[in-house]
Structures are given as structure tokens and as C-alpha cells.
Amino acid sequence: NAGVTQTPKFRILKIGQSMTLQCTQDMNHNYMYWYRQDPGMGLKLIYYSVGAGITDKGEVPNGYNVSRSTTEDFPLRLELAAPSQTSVYFCASSYSGLMGVYNEQFFGPGTRLTVL
Amino acid sequence: AQRVTQPEKLLSVFKGAPVELKCNYSYSGSPELFWYVQYSRQRLQLLLRHISRESIKGFTADLNKGETSFHLKKPFAQEEDSAMYYCALTQGGSEKLVFGKGTKLTVNP
């Protein structure tokens, strides 16, 4: 199993450009997440999804959009890139089957995005 | 609001010395606490969680609700323990994690 894969690994964008960060998992996990990590900071949740067709906002959703058309894929869209979106983006997934039981999140390798 | 504080950005110890990475949290309910670790050039991965009360790679962490702390300890540090360590919490039953800023541990030979 490849686990959680993310593409691209690195990207430089100009202000106002758009792009989609891809995330795929092959573990049949129902939950998927997008985090961003700014230098010297912890990870902050952008959006998450509890299953195909269902998404919800996290702590820092502004400037991003997501969709979840399949169990495997959870792309993150930046519509109008801004310098404040310069960060490392992590995708993660987990399986949640039992209410009240937290299950381990598996992380991708990250995408380093710079907006100039 | 839920918050996780890791007061040390950097921690350096010598091999064989005890190590303690501090984590304090603020949460009004009953949180679940975790330690995640990221070794050089590897992905972030779960190290341990408080509910399982287990020791992983010689590390243990005890949840102290009175002091709202979840410090990570190891009696004898090894060079391979060098990594970034993140404390995180979630509300019981929620899948949303709140992370601390992380502590970079360096174990010197």
C-alpha cells in the first residue's frame, strides 16, 4: 500500500494564480483531512471530510475549497493564491467506525507551496 | 477553545540522559491526548496516545488532568530519537486534531 500520496511535492505560484493540491489514499479510509503548517507553528486543520460527498470546515478554511467525489481522493483547491498561503500542506486520512473512538491519522509527505 | 502548548521549541540532550518533552493543554471537556513524531525525511506518525497507556520506543506519557499536562518522557535517550515531536488533542469521539507547535529534540552522541 502506498498509504497517503500527495502531489506536487513543491510548487511556486504567483499571486492570484489558482492550483489544486492532490491527495489520494488507498487504505479505504472514510475520513480525510487537509492541514497547513506555517514555519514554527503546529498543524492547523483547513477542511475535512467524513466520507464521499461530505466535507466540512476546519479552523482555517478561508481561501480554500475541497471536494470529495470518491473515497480515495480529496483535492484541495486554491482559487486566488495569496502570500499568506505560503505553507506546507499535509493531507491525512483515518478510519472511523466506532462512535467515541479516535483512530490514528495517517499523513502524506506534504506539499511545500510558495506564493510570490 | 482547545489549545495545546509545547513550551520548548528546541530541546537538546546527550545520549543516555533522561528526556522530557512538555505539553500542556486547555480544554473544558475530556480530551484525548496524543504524541505524533516526525523523523527526518519521514512522515508525521502517531507515537502514542494516552488511552492506550502503552510505552512505544521507550517513551511514556501520563495524562495529568489536575495540571492539564501530557508530558512525554524517556529515561535514556537514543540518537535515533532525534525528531520533531507534536502534542495533539481531540475531543472524545471527534476526529479533529488540535496540534501544538512542536518541539525539536536533538540527542547528541
Please name the member of A40, A102, A110 whose beta carbon is closest to the beta carbon of B101. Answer: A40
CB contact under 8 A, B96 and A109: no
Which chain A residue shows the shortest CA-CA distance from B50? A102
**CA nearest to B9, candidates B86, B70, B89:** B86
In angstroms, the CA A24 to CA B60 distance is 33
Please name the member of B45, B49, B100 whose beta carbon is closest to the beta carbon of A42. Answer: B100
**pLDDT bucket at A101, cuts 50 / 70 / 90:** low
Read off the pLDDT of residues A32-75 as tens digits, 9 standing for 90 and up. 999 999 988 889 999 999 999 999 999 999 999 999 999 999 99
Residue A100 has pLDDT above 70, yes or no: no
Which chain A residue shows the shortest CA-CA distance from B8? A40
Interface subset of B 57-76, CB within 8 angstroms of A: none
A28-56 burial code (b ≥16 CB/10 A, e <16): ebbbbbbbbbeeeebbbbbbbbeebeebe
Pairing of strands A31-37, A87-94: antiparallel
CB contact under 8 A, B95 and A48: yes
Please name the member of B86, B95, B97 whose beta carbon is closest to the beta carbon of A96. Answer: B95
CB contact under 8 A, B97 and A50: no
Place of cell 479505504: A28
Could you report the average pLDDT of every consecutive run of 10 residues in chain B (109 residues)? 91 97 88 92 91 85 90 96 95 79 96
Read off the pLDDT of residues B78-92 as tens digits, 9 standing for 90 and up. 999 999 999 999 876
